[in-house]
Amino acid sequence: MSEGAAPHVLLVVAPYYTEIVEDLCRGAVAALEEQGATWERIDVAGAFEIPGAIALALDAGTRGGRRFDGYLGLGCVIRGETSHYDLICNEVARALQTMAVERLVPVGFGLLTTENGAQARVRASPEGKDKGREAVRACLGMIALKRRFAAGAS
């Protein structure tokens, strides 16, 4: 992690698939704590609400509320029988990417998008693919990069 204060990250969690998402959170929290980062967690109803919750937190920060150095969206969407899966996955990814680029905020994408529960469990598990940790690495890396550019380093 770069110099300066420990990064403070907001975890926005959609616990629809509770066991899977808690595994994602375990990996994410372990990675944050290993890097000396602090964090807060809020839960939202589902994956679709993750970008909105981050936007609300950003808005509160610009009005003097709690500021976060980065944001982490954690959740899981498993393909079902309808096109709902595609709509949710695409719109959440698009909204988070747009927010990261247009509002210049570090966002870690920890939304699993899988065909079935078995795939999700392997990807979420800290003993498996540990995608929660991976999302933290991306978020902390972007926080460090933002700090580097803010300090005028090339």
What mean pLDDT value characterizes the chain? Answer: 94
Report pLDDT digits (tens) over 44-79.
999 999 999 999 999 998 777 779 999 999 999 999
The residue among 83, 103, 113 whose CA lies nearest residue 14 is: 113
For residues 32-38, give the mean pLDDT: 98
The residue among 114, 125, 128, 139 whose CA lies nearest residue 35 is: 139
For residues 88-117, give the mean pLDDT: 97
Per residue in 9-22, is it b (16+ CB within 10 Å) or e — as a string?
bbbbbbbebeebbe
- pTM, whole model, 2 decimals? 0.93
Q: Decide if 55 contacts 12 (C-beta within 8 A).
A: no
Q: Delineate the domains of the chain, giving CATH numbers in brackets.
A: 8-148 (3.40.50.960)
pLDDT (0 to 100) of residue 2: 41
> Which positions are annotated as active-site residues?
84
Please state, in angstroms and rounded to a whole number, the distance separating the CA atoms of residues 112 and 119. 9
Percent of the chain with pLDDT over 90: 90
pLDDT (0 to 100) of residue 153: 64
**In the predicted structure, residue 99 carries a pLDDT above the cut 90:** yes
Q: Decide if 78 contacts 123 (C-beta within 8 A).
A: no
